[in-house]
Amino acid sequence: MKIPELKGYGKIGTGKYRLLNYIIDISELNGKGIKYIRSKNDLILADSLVIGSSDVVIVPIYPVLVPKKITDYVLVELDRKIEIAPSAKTEFYIQIPVDIAVYAYRDKDFTIIDIIPGYKPKYALYGSPNEGVIARYMRTSIYNSEPTPEIGKAVALVRVRNKTRGWVTLTKILVHSNNLRLYYEEGSWRACIQKLNVVVDSRSTASVTYEGITCTGVKPIDDPLGLKPPRIVYKTSMLWGI
C-alpha cells in the first residue's frame, strides 16, 4: 500500500505518512496516547511515546535548532545583485529556511516531540573569523510577488531604502531568529515571517527591522519556551557587508 505524502502544515491523525525523505508513523498506545516514529530507509531517527494526548500538529519552526542550536542568525544570499541608486527604495519577496516541528498538544499546552530538517541545513560565516557570526544559510531567488509555497521555506517581503548619497549593491540579508515570528496556512506548505525593512547606511553596512506580517490568511505558531519573540524587537545590524 502506497504511503500518502503530507500535503501541508496542521493536525495529523494516526497512520503512516511520507514527508520529504522520511516516513512518519503515528499509532495509538492502548488508548493512553500515541507512539511516534520517524524513519529513513528503515533507520529510526526519532521515537517517542506521548502519554495523555493524541493531538499531533505539524508547524514550521525557526531554522536554528537542527542538528543542534549553534547560532541565532539566519543569512540569506540573493541569487542576483541589486544595484540601488542614491536615496532610492525598492521592495521584493525572498524565502528563508525553516524546519518542521511536530507538536503534541493537550488543550493549549504542548511539547515538541520532533524537529525535522526542511532540507539539509547549511551554515556560513558572516563577517571575519574573529568578529563575525555563524548563521544558518540559504540562497534565495528574488520575487516580485509572493512565491509558490515550498516545504522548508518561509516567505518575507523585503523593503530596502538606500540612505546614502552613493550607489550601493545589496547581495545578502542577515536576520536574528529571536526577532522572527512564524506564521503558516493549514493544509499547505505556505509559511511566512514579518516584513523586513532594510536601511542601507553605507556601502558595507545596513540595519534590519521587523514589521507586520508578510502574508494574509495565516496563523502564528505557538512559540516554544525560550523562543518567544521579545516584546521589544530590536534591529539587526549588518556590519560586515551587504
231: CB partners within 8 A, 6+ apart = none
Q: Which residues of the chain have pLDDT under 70?
A: 228-233
pLDDT tens-digit map of 13-67: 999 999 999 999 999 998 889 999 999 999 999 999 999 988 999 999 999 988 8
DSSP element (H, E) containing 62:
none
How many angstroms separate the CA atoms of 81 and 139, rounded? 12
Global pTM value: 0.93
